Structure 1
Amino acid sequence: MTELARPLVATHDSAERASGAVLRRAAPALLAYAGTRLLGLAVLAIWAAVADESPHRLLSARWDSLWYARIAADGYGYSVSVPAGADVRVHSDLAFFPLLPWLERLLAEISPLSHADAGLLVSALASLVAAWGVFAVGDLLYGRRAGTALVVLWAALPVGIVQSMAYSESLFTALAAWGVYAVLCGRWVTAGVLAALAGLTRPVGAAVVAAVWLTAAATLLPGRRGTRDRAERRRMLLGLAIAPLGWCGYVAWVGIHTESVTGYLDVQGGWGNGFDGGLAFAGFIGEQLTGPAFLAGAALLVGVALLLWLYVTCVRQRQPLPLLVYGGVVLLLALSAKGYFGSKPRLLLPAFPLLLPIALALARLRPVRAGLLLGALGLVSALYGAFWLHGSGPP
C-alpha cells in the first residue's frame, strides 16, 4: 500500500489542527464543488429554455419536493390512493422523515420564502456543508488532493443534480459526513447528535447510527487500543445513547400515529417500498436481460458489479471502520430495497465513501490531468442531470 493510500490515524491533535484552519484548507474543494453544481444548474436552465420548461419547477415543485412542502405547510396527515394494477395503494406523507419539512417551515415563517423555495435554500446550504464534510473526511484520511477529488466526484455523480433540488439528500449527506468525521476524531457526543439528526432526515439514517455503534463496540473490545479514560468512556456512552433517538423516535411516533407496531413498514408498503434482500431488484434486472431492454439490463448489471467492486476495494484498502460500516449499510439498503428501481441511483447518492478508491487514483495523477478528467465528468453529469429531470426524473 502506498503512502497516499494509507489511512492516517485520526487523533484529537490532528483533528484540532484540521479544524483550526478547516475553511481555508477546504476553500479550493468547495469552490470546485460549487463550480460543478453551478455548471449543472446552467445546463439545466439552457435545456429548460429550449424545452419551454421552468427549471425552478423541476427543482422545487415535482415528485418528493411537493410532499415535503405540503408537510411543511400543513403538517402530517395527507394521503392519496393510487391504482396499482388490480390493487389500490395508499401513499401517505408519513413515509417522509420530518427534519427537512421542519426546516422549510421555519424558514418560511421567518422570511418571505415559500415552503418550496425554503426547501431549495436548505438544500443549497446543506450541499455546501455536505461537500465540506466529504472533503474533511477525505483530507483527514488521505490528504488535501484526495479530499478535493472526492468532493468533485460526489458533485459530478450522474444524479448529482439532486443535490440542488428541494430533496433531503443534501441535508442527510451533510449530517452523515460530519457524523462520520466526528467518529473518526473520537468526538462521540457530536457523532451521536449528528446521527440522531440524520435519523430524523431519511430512513437510511440507520447507517450513521450503525457507524457510531459498531465503531464504539470495536473500540471497546478486549485487547483493542480503546479509550481508558473514564470521562471519555462516559462521552462515548452518551453518544451511543443519543445516536438512535432520531430514527427510533420518528418510527415510534408513526407506530403510535397508525396504532400499529409495524406502522412505518406498513406506510412504506403502501408506497410499494420495503426490503426483500434484493430479490425484486434482481428479478427486474433479469426481466431486462431477457426482454427487449437487454442493454439497459446489462448496464444495470455492470453498475451493480461496479458498486460491489468499489466496496470490496474500500475493504482491501483498509479504510477506517466508520466509513466501511456507513458506506456498506447505505449500499445494502439501496440494493435490497424493492419499489421504484429508478430511484436507486438517488438512494446511493449519500454513499460518498464508495468514491474514495477513485479519488485516491485521481490524487496520484498530475493536477492538470486530474482537473481535466473531473471537469469532463462534471459536464457529463450536467448534461445527464438536465436530460433526467426533463424525463422520468427521481420519484
Structure 2
Amino acid sequence: MTLLACNSSPKKNQAHNDTAAHTQIENAAIVTGANQTEAYLKLLKGKKVGVVANQTSVIFKDASEETHTHIVDSLIAMNVNVTTVFAPEHGFRGTADAGEYIKDDVDEKTGLPVFSLYGKNRKPPAEFLENIEVMLFDVQDVGVRFYTYISTLHYVMEIAAELGVPVIILDRPNPNGHYIDGPILEEDVKSFVGMHPVPIVYGMTIGEYGKMINGEKWLANNIQCDLTVVPLQNYTYTSEYNLPILPSPNLPNAKSINLYPSVCFFEGTTVSCGRGTEMQFQIFGAPYLPKEDFDFSFTPQPNFGAKSPKHEGEVCYGKDLRTVDSLDEIRLDWLIDAYTATADKKTFFNDFFKKLAGTTKLQEQIEQGMSIEAIKATWQPGLEDFKTTRAKYLMYN
C-alpha cells in the first residue's frame, strides 16, 4: 500500500514511492526461501519429510553468505523428521560429471538413504515415497531450459501429485533472470534437457517455474500437485546475484553462468566448450578450427567434473570469452563462426544439438546460412506467447 501525503499529487507520489521501494529492494540483501525457516518449519512439524537437495541446498548463517549449513543437517538439528534424500544431476554432494550416472547411496554424515534422480530413475518410483508425508525441494537453478534441475522438479511434482504428497519449494534467485530469449521447445524434440514449451532462457525463479508447471497442467494426465512456494525476500529480476556455491562442477563462476545459455550449444557439436579446463563455458575451440582466425588455444585434460573431456589431450583453437560484457541475450555468432570455419560440416552437429536447441529448425537455419537477425525473428511469436503465460506466475518485480 502507498500512503499519500495531504495535497500531494497521487501519480507523482506513486512514481516516487515505487522508485524508492525498488531502490530499497535492490540495496537490501536477498533472503533465500531456505533461510526463512519460520515460513516452512510449521509445514514440516510432525511429518515425515523427503528432501530434494544437492550442495547448493544450504541455510546461510549471515547476510554475507560466507558460512552455511546444509539444509538436511539444519532440519535434523531442528528436530524435523527427515526420512529420505533425493539427489539430482551431479549428485547429493555435487561432484559428478554432467550426464554421469548417479547411483543410490547412503549419506555418510546422517545415515539417510539417498535416492538418485539421475540414474536408473528420473522420476521417483512410488515406493521411494512410502515413508514421506511432505516433499521439500531446495536446489539452486540457473534459469536455463537445458539445465536439468527443472526436469527433476517436474518429475518430483508429478509423483507427489499422483500420491497426494504436498511439495514445498524453497525459492532461490535466478542468475539469468534478467532476460528471456531463445526458441520455444518443440514437442518432437522433448527430452530430459527440455520438457516444457519454454524458451532457452525463461526469466523465472525455480519457485515460479514450479507454479507454471502446475498451473499449465504440464504434469502427466493434467494432474496438479499441492504446491507451496516459500518466496525470496528483496529479489527483483534485475538483481545481481553471484551464486555463493557452485551449482554444478562445470559452472565455476558468474561469467560461466552468464555465458552458459549461449556456449552450451557447443555441447551438441564437435567443438569443446572448455570442459577439462578451468575455464568451462567461458571458452570454445576445436583442433580443426584455423588458428589464424581462432587465436586462443587450450588443451582439455581430465579434471574435477570432466573425467573424459571432448578432445582430451589435443590442442584446441578457439576464442576466449572471459572478457565479453555481461549478456542479456543469447549469442549465436560464436556457434555460426565455428560452423562456418569447419571444413567437415556434415559432422559438425550431433543428435544432441536438436535437444539442446529444443527445435529442429536452428540447425537447418544455420546450415542454410540464415542471418542471426532472421533466425531470431522466427523466435519472436513464440516468445511473446510465452511472456503472456509467464506473467501469470511471477512473484517478484
Same fold per superposition (TM over 0.5): no
TM-score (norm 1): 0.26
| Higher RCO (CA-CA < 8 Å; seq separation 6+) | 1
Greater strand content = 2
Greater helix content = 1
TM-score (norm 2): 0.26
